[in-house]
């Protein structure tokens, strides 16, 4: 056991050292020669101090991201290899009579352990954002958001685990397919509820206050043939100086949301481009396409997880102190596999997202007929968010849900 723990710990340290070297010593975010002097060149819209701050801030945030995911894997491995998961299960079986309560209690303990282990990195990320004046959130508000996170994720997690153990007990070979079938209505239900139940727990949402701007947006929406009654603003200035807008929800709860920082810091023509971009998502039904893609990918994921989970439970059960796939102590193994596969699938989901974002950019430019507003918007996004215009390759594929700022400006300049 000590050898396995030492090997896993060494692997994690070497992994962290690689990414430290990659970001702080060799990460290539330099501007290509062909871009220098153009509107996509960050030196044309950011002063040297801002450029250095963007580079340093991005390096720290990206480094924290890449060492965060394997930390969960290492934690799940420790719970298994040390037999701690087995001991927690045995203690709960002695303390709690009913199987359902045993599972819920086990999930609660695992959730607390994972939350406690991830908090230090999240706290560092929060303090870094404060230091670079990206975050404006108070410590009390930050803690409140994390408490809300826990009490939203824990019940959902507990329900999923209860269903999993019921299915794998009743349908050992086909549990993964039945689980996926249940995922479809469950995911649709969450997408429907999120804008009206979950999101308001974190921030206040309300219709646009600026009636003159609202009139311009209504005119743009009419041109795009979309209902503008679903456009909202949210008080994100209490938490950040960054800019953003997004489309969320499905059905009657579908809405376009603008951060108030975006409304306060950008000119009307830039806001109209952003609205055109979000309307592009709406018109091209990207939310539904993304949802369908997620469900399809999850079907493949469930199948792979089933094969790996059952094989590893059988081959390494004794070493990991688990009796088989139905053993409650094997839950960390299941979570480990889900986390690894989710991380491995990020390049695929991000590639699809980048394609949709590029299409929405084109739509926004065509709808507004204002290419310059698009370019200015992308420049402002980089300046206020301290974003690198040309991040390193691994950041692009694992974190790049949008094209880089450089690519977005270049694409805007190419639009007719």
308-338 pLDDT, tens digit each: 999 999 999 999 999 989 999 999 999 999 9
Catalytic residue among 72, 199, 278, 410: 278
Give the residue-averaged pLDDT of 402-410. Answer: 95
Helix (H, G, I), strand (E, B) or coil at 1: coil
278 in active site: yes
Nearest of 76, 106, 77, 79 to residue 91 by alpha carbon: 106
Catalytic residue among 361, 376, 407, 410: 361
- Percentage of the residues of the chain whose pLDDT score is greater than 70: 98
Could you read off the pLDDT of 132-166 as tens digits, one per residue? 999 999 999 999 999 999 999 999 999 999 999 99
**Are residues 290 and 246 in contact, defined by beta-carbon separation less than 8 angstroms?**
no
Q: What is the mean pLDDT of the chain?
A: 92
Least confident interval from 118-127, 144-153, 228-237: 228-237
Helix (H, G, I), strand (E, B) or coil at 405: helix
Measured CA distances, 139 to 19, 101, 136, 280 (Å):
29, 34, 10, 37
Q: Regarding predicted confidence, which is higher, 25 or 383? A: 383
Question: Is the entire prediction scored with pTM above 0.85?
Answer: yes
Judged by DSSP in three states, 233 sits in strand
List alpha helices for 96-138, DSSP H.
Answer: 99-131
Contact present, 262 and 243 (Cβ < 8 Å)? yes
Q: What is the pLDDT of residue 28?
A: 62
Map tokens 């690519």 to a residue: 407
Cβ atoms within 10 Å, residue 48: 8
Rounded Cα distance, 83 and 77, in Å: 10
Min mean pLDDT across 70-79, 187-196, 347-356 is at 187-196
**Mean pLDDT, range 376-398, rounded to an integer:** 93
> What are 313-318's contacts with CB under 8 Å, separation 24+?
none
Is position 357 annotated in a ligand binding site? yes
**What is the pLDDT at residue 214?**
84
């Amino acid at each position: 056991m000590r050898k396995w723990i030492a090997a896993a710990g060494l692997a994690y340290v070497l992994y962290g050292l690689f990414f430290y070297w990659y970001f702080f010593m060799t990460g290539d975010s330099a501007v290509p020669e062909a871009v220098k002097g153009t509107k996509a060149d960050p030196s044309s819209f950011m002063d040297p101090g801002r450029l250095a701050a963007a580079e340093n801030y991005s390096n720290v945030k990206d480094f924290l991201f890449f060492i965060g995911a394997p930390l969960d894997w290492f934690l799940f491995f420790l719970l298994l290899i040390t037999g701690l998961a087995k001991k927690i299960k045995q203690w709960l079986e002695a303390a709690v009579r009913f199987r359902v309560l045993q599972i819920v209690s086990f999930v609660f303990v695992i959730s607390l352990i994972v939350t406690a282990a991830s908090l230090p990195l999240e706290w560092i990320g929060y303090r870094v954002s404060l230091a670079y004046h990206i975050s404006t959130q108070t410590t009390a508000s930050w803690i409140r958001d994390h408490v809300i996170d826990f009490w939203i994720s824990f019940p959902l997690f507990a329900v999923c685990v209860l269903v999993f153990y019921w299915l794998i007990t009743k349908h050992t070979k086909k549990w993964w397919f039945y689980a996926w079938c249940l995922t479809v209505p469950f995911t649709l239900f969450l997408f429907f509820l999120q804008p009206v139940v979950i999101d308001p727990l974190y921030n206040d949402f309300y219709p646009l206050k600026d009636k003159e701007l609202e009139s311009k947006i209504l005119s743009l929406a009419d041109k795009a043939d979309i209902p503008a009654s679903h456009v909202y603003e949210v008080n994100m200035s209490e938490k950040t100086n960054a800019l953003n807008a997004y489309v969320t929800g499905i059905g009657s709860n579908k809405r376009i949301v603008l951060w108030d920082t975006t409304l306060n810091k950008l000119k009307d023509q830039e806001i109209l481009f952003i609205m055109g971009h979000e309307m592009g998502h709406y018109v091209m039904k990207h939310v539904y396409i993304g949802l369908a893609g997620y469900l399809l990918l999850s079907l493949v994921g469930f199948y792979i997880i089933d094969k790996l989970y059952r094989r590893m439970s059988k081959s390494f059960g004794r070493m990991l102190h688990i009796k088989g796939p139905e053993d409650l102590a094997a839950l960390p193994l299941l979570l480990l596999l889900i986390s690894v596969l989710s991380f491995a699938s990020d390049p695929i989901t991000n590639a699809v997202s980048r394609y949709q974002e590029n299409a929405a950019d084109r739509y926004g430019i065509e709808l507004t007929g204002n290419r310059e507003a698009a370019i200015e918007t992308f420049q402002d996004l980089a300046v206020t968010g301290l974003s690198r215009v040309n991040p390193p390759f691994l950041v692009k594929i694992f974190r790049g849900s949008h094209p880089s700022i450089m690519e977005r400006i270049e694409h805007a300049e190419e639009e007719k």
